[in-house]
Structure 1
Amino acid sequence: MGDRRALETQLAVVAGFDNPQIRLEQYPTPPDIAAHVVHLADLQGDVDGRTVVDLGTGTGMLALGAALRGPDRVVGVELDAEALATARDNERRVGTTTPIHWIRADATRAPLCVSDSASKTTVLMNPPFGAQNGNRGADRAFLSTAAALADVSYSIHNRGSREFVESFAADEGGEVTHAFGATLTLERQFDFHDEATKDLDTEVFRIRWS
């Protein structure tokens, strides 16, 4: 099992979005947060020897972090073709030898069927928070997909989401086993951003699905 800070250093080479789409709420997952989430998953035995699925992978940060920790395979699902092209480039930058399958698809309708009973599935995701008009409840749809695919999931949500996430998990037969706060430092990406950087308070949840 590797060191979290070493993993963060490896992920520092991952390039972000060239042309971020506001309708998809495309904000990059910072290397430190990705390393924290993947390291926790590794400590819990949720990476090694498993299939890891990154829903809404963007440019591949969480998928590549997981790939560096010894899963059987990694699947990155992303709707934006341009972001997926960057993810493939990032795979070469990171240099992992784990098989990674990049799939262009709507992550809330992921065309996946994990049928290998010998390999359990972990979902990692930084879903849209539903902050944009017409995108309300986007994280709910991602959680629903995770519940259908995974034995366990790790997801990043806006601060104040714990009651919603715990209630949703319980309704789907799941249980929140770990939760912690994390601050995402985001660089200016869109014209309506007034500052060069902004700190966004979030919460990360591990859910065990039955």
Structure 2
Amino acid sequence: MKKITRKKHLEMKLQNIPSHPKPKVGLEQYTTPSVIASDLIWNAFSLGDIEDRNILDLGCGTGIFAIGSALMGANSSTGVDVDEDSIRLAREVSGKLKLDNVKFIVSDIDEFDESSNADTLFQNPPFGSQRKADKGQDLKFVKKAVELDTDVLYSFHMASTEEFLIDFYEDNNLEITHIFRYKFPIPKIYDFHNKEKQIVDVIVIRAIL
């Protein structure tokens, strides 16, 4: 496959990755837009966290970070998600792209204990954008990242919780090096949504473990 040399080209590739086929409200499944995923992956690549590295995409959904990392020269890329429907689509997409350095695993994060010697971990966990969401799921993912002992973590969170998160990361011996800020669109995919689209301020924290 021809090497990707521009962020726009990466975004165009990621646009072909489908959304969650059957979004499950309990999992708070919102697909990361290709424009956000490509920007974050490009930044991670620029920081030396992608090329020739082993990537883990925890709570991967249909695999946008696992696939995007593979396209940018990752040594290996592993996606993990509890949702079998999403994993099936992720496997189909990586197969069509003929990516032989990607694999996807169906597993709850509590039961997942195979880090694949990951160097860099991406995660876009349920971050509490729903009013009745089970709060603290993103913190559960951060704790799992610490347990898996990867080198670098990129994790999505609600921007409104930034001050608390900085303390939480420090308490877990994580050194925050960068904070990326995005406007995350939440589409109308669940029955309780009363707007066609809502924009939520999110941050992605890059931390060294």
Query: Under a length normalisation based on structure 2, what TM-score does the superposition of the two structures give?
Result: 0.91
SS at match of 2:160: coil
**Percent identical residues:** 32
Q: Distance in 1 between matches of 2:208 and 2:5?
A: 23
Q: After the TM superposition, which residues 79-158 of structure 1 pair with which residues of structure 2 at under 5 Å, given as runs?
A: 79-93=82-96, 95-115=97-117, 121-131=119-129, 133=132, 135-149=134-148, 150-158=150-158
Call closer, same or farther: CA 1:192–1:152 in 2, change over 3 Å: same
Q: Distance in 1 between matches of 2:184 and 2:23?
A: 17
In the alignment, does 2:164 pair up with 1:164? yes
Q: Tell me which residue corresponds to 1:77.
A: 80
Q: Distance in 1 between matches of 2:170 and 2:179?
A: 15
Output the aligned Cα RMSD. Answer: 1.7
Moved over 4 A (4+): 131-134
Q: After the TM superposition, which residues 191-202 of structure 1 pair with which residues of structure 2 at under 5 Å, given as runs?
A: 191-202=191-202
Q: Distance in 2 between matches of 1:67 and 1:96?
A: 11
SS at match of 2:37: helix
Alpha carbons 1:166, 1:175 under 8 Å: kept: no
The CA deviation string for residues 69-115 of structure 1, in whole angstroms up to 9 with x for no partner, is: 1111111000011111111122134x153411211111244221445
Call closer, same or farther: CA 1:34–1:134 in 2, change over 3 Å: closer
Q: Tell me which residue corresponds to 1:31.
A: 34
Call closer, same or farther: CA 1:134–1:34 in 2, change over 3 Å: closer
Q: Distance in 2 between matches of 1:134 and 1:184?
A: 17
SS at match of 1:161: helix
SS at match of 1:166: helix
Aligned residues: 204
Q: Distance in 2 between matches of 1:165 and 1:123?
A: 18
Q: Distance in 1 between matches of 2:199 and 2:99?
A: 34
Unaligned runs of 5+ in 2: none
Alpha carbons 1:67, 1:96 under 8 Å: kept: no
Q: Tell me which residue corresponds to 1:8.
A: 11
What is the CA distance between 1:158 and its match in structure 2?
0.9
Unaligned runs of 5+ in 1: none
Pick aligned residue for 1:44 from 44, 47, 51: 47
SS at match of 1:6: helix
Q: Distance in 1 between matches of 2:137 and 2:207?
A: 18
Q: Distance in 1 between matches of 2:98 and 2:155?
A: 23
Alpha carbons 2:91, 2:103 under 8 Å: kept: no
